[in-house]
Structure 1
Amino acid sequence: MLCPVLCGLSTDVKEGENGNYTLIRDVEDNQLGMFDQPLPCFGCGIGWFSLLLGFVFPLMWYYATILYFGNYYHKDPRERAGLAANAIAALILTISVLIAVAAILL
């Protein structure tokens, strides 16, 4: 019984008897088309592509971290997970480099 309410369909008893439903929302204002386009970088998004490329060129992790903290994912929320993964990878790399430098110098 929740589907007509969640789908934006009218649940009026008179219209339900006829088997006809009326849309409550505006048909011309369709929000679904915003995410129909594939993500950039071979369809996996900038975040995940930077994570994979970062294993060869680690500065990509820092680039994607800057995008993450710059709220780039507000343009497309599907990018948020990949950009967050880059921030974690950049943090791990920074800590490991600091430990390695401390071990060499001490």
Structure 2
Amino acid sequence: MEQKGCPTDPKKREEGDYTLIGDGEDDLLGLYDKPLPCFGCGIGWFSFLLGFVFPLMWYYATILYFRNYYLNDPRERTGLATCAIAALVFTIVALIVAAVILF
């Protein structure tokens, strides 16, 4: 018994006498077609670069990272994780500098 659109006979499959009902990967193709926000580099990398001038941007991107913003677009994950690391390093350096100045 043949299912609609999917013949069991190999010759019919080779000839192309069937109709494709749906493709499992078809939904994922549109995800990467649109460019990333912030001049095409994504919020994470844009925040990382801007963080050298305004370090609060690293903390903003860290909040986005921990709130799983990258689930909207997986391409954002690396930039947001980089900002989280930069925020951690900046905080440690700022605490060391403050400790040296105060003590």
Normalization by structure 2: what TM-score? 0.80
Aligned residue pairs total: 95
Matched residue SS, 1:34: coil
Equivalents in 1 of 2:39, 2:53: separation in Å?
18
Amino acid paired to 1:96: V
CA displacement 1:7-58 (0-9 Å, x = unmatched): xxx996323543x38565515x831112210000000000000000000111
Query: Where do 5+ consecutive residues of structure 2 fail to align?
Result: 1-6
Q: Distance in 2 between matches of 1:101 and 1:42?
A: 36
Normalising by structure 1, we get a TM-score of 0.78
Q: How is 1:65-80 mapped onto 2 (pairs within 5 angstroms)?
A: 65-80=62-77
In 2, the alpha carbon distance for the partners of 1:89 and 1:65 equals: 9
1:7 maps to what in 2? none
CA RMSD of aligned residues (A): 2.4
Work out which of the two has the higher radius of gyration on C-alpha atoms and give 1 or 2. Answer: 2
TM-aligned CA deviation for residue 101 of structure 1 = 0.8
Task: Note the residue ranges of structure 1 that are not aligned, 5 or more in a row.
Answer: 1-9
Structure 1 stretches of at least 4 aligned residues deviating more than 4 Å after TM superposition: 21-25
Residue matched to 2:99: 102
**Structure 1 counterpart of 2:4:** none
Percent identical among aligned pairs is 64
Are 1:45 and 1:82, in contact at CA under 8 Å, matched by a contact in 2?
yes
The equivalent residue for 2:86 is: 89
